[in-house]
Chain A
């Protein structure tokens, strides 16, 4: 694989499968999506090991750069963890430690250097649009489509029959209270509204698992609190498994059932903190002693790692 990618596929150089349209490697078979879907969940003999967990991560390590390269950057180191069905978990760790990398590996967008990921008991070798939806940190709404068209196209990508799409779009927008903005273009909405749409698009795909990479990072504190409450409420009705990356300790405690705390790069699992509190959570949970105790514990766990991460970056 060439080290330097310049064309459309540059950022996908590390992905598990060459992107069918732009992979460009003549020697690699170009797969159509149907094949991808079939292959993505390969029936592995290791399936039994994954048990009933929604997501199983076994000995996953990831380094960027080529083998034997001096500039080779280890991002993840021997991660083992299991995420149960209908569980809301947060990945917490200092900036740049490898949280997004782990999320992309779970979603089949990136290939681990070693180790395996299982989703619903089967090994992940590529994207799983039927099982996993992403909500990215950055704005991924297509600027040339209206909000409704964006939602529509997402369903088209996923292979939802045309006649089902309008109703699904309508319901998804209604669920987040954004129906009146269906005909707006993304640039006409505030950052908070766009992120709300992105969230509802992720949920509208009706996958069991939603991976959210700092979906609220670009928002002000007030908006993120409201969106966090909304999310907690929305999830209560839908029974999904959520993996959520955040930098906010309060957000992690408020939303999660369990919080995975990672070390500075290369990320290793440092600790697992359980939040024993039923959903949907009320705002007054945030002022309880339990909440503050957990928050402080997380801060204690992270302090050194944050210092280490800061040291790495000077």
Chain B
């Protein structure tokens, strides 16, 4: 009796757990996709998940030129992201620190943030060429904004009470930065960082799709023009994995450094 109820409640817990639920939704989605793709959908546009997996293993991952392209994109992404985080934090702290500069520059930053940068993409290719430089640059200008905006916003809402209290105890500007402002920034910094991963990837891929001689975007272009959807989907899977990986890195760093968790 108790064993039975124990089992049932175990099963119920498992079904009620959000992780299992999520997996269930994903599995159901894949099944429906598979069914539709094998029956009603045009194979020139949509591949079933099984075929995509097959293409991923036999074509994408087996082809050294494609592998190299994935590597190129990954390094472009990583470099653009690292530069965006460093520069975004530095600019954010500088702009956020000064009263006047913050009032002047913050609206400008927000305005620039709102403009779709894809409009100036041809300029990037013209300035930086067809190689990785234009991709890194375009990824960088995409990735820097979420960091900058979040850091500036964070600097602007430091509790005046903490500042007043620190000031009354004789804190210097460096001490205030180190003990009050920077710790306060941590949560918004990481929120910006995770947005930045997605934006950087967007920038890099856009630049690659627009004009390139290498990278994932180049092959994606190639496959889509030859109506070869399976490896195209496989590439999309690879890109998604890259984004998930970087996002996970950011999340780990966040867990480690966020004081709220402690």
Q: Is the CB of A24 within 8 A of B167?
A: no
* Chain B residue nearest to A6 in the complex (CB): B103
Q: Is the CB of A154 within 8 A of B156?
A: no
Interface size class of A (residues with CB under 8 A): 35 or more
* Chain A residue nearest to B155 in the complex (CB): A8
C-alpha spacing A129/B172, complex, angstroms: 11
Q: Does B180 contact A (CB under 8 A)?
A: yes
Q: Is the CB of A142 within 8 A of B179?
A: yes
Q: Is the CB of A8 within 8 A of B163?
A: yes
Interface size class of B (residues with CB under 8 A): 35 or more
Residues of A within 8 A of B (CB): 2, 5-12, 15, 19-26, 32-33, 36-37, 107, 109, 127, 129-130, 132-134, 136, 138, 140, 142-145, 153-154, 156-159, 185, 205
C-alpha spacing A133/B167, complex, angstroms: 11
Q: Looking at the assembled complex, report how far the CB atom of A288 sits from the nearest CB atom of chain B, in whole angstroms.
A: 37
A8-B156, A109-B164 given; A157·B170 CB < 8 A:
yes
A10: chain B residues at CB < 8 Å are 160
Q: Looking at the assembled complex, report how far the CB atom of B67 sits from the nearest CB atom of chain A, in whole angstroms.
A: 44
B96: chain A residues at CB < 8 Å are 7-8
* Chain A residue nearest to B170 in the complex (CB): A129
* Chain A residue nearest to B95 in the complex (CB): A7
A21-B173, A25-B100, A140-B161 given; A133·B155 CB < 8 A:
no
Q: Is the CB of B170 within 8 A of A33?
A: yes
Known: A133-B169, A157-B175. 12 other contacts (CB 8 A): A5-B99, A7-B156, A8-B158, A24-B101, A32-B172, A107-B168, A127-B168, A129-B168, A136-B164, A144-B183, A157-B170, A158-B169
Q: Is the CB of A33 within 8 A of B103?
A: no
Partner of A132 from the list B156, B160, B168, B260 (CB cut-off 8 Å) is: B168
Q: Does B118 contact A (CB under 8 A)?
A: no
Q: Does B166 contact A (CB under 8 A)?
A: yes
B100: chain A residues at CB < 8 Å are 24-26
B166: chain A residues at CB < 8 Å are 157
Q: Looking at the assembled complex, report how far the CB atom of A199 sits from the nearest CB atom of chain B, in whole angstroms.
A: 13
Q: Looking at the assembled complex, report how far the CB atom of B66 sits from the nearest CB atom of chain A, in whole angstroms.
A: 46
Q: Is the CB of A109 within 8 A of B167?
A: yes
Q: Is the CB of A6 within 8 A of B170?
A: no
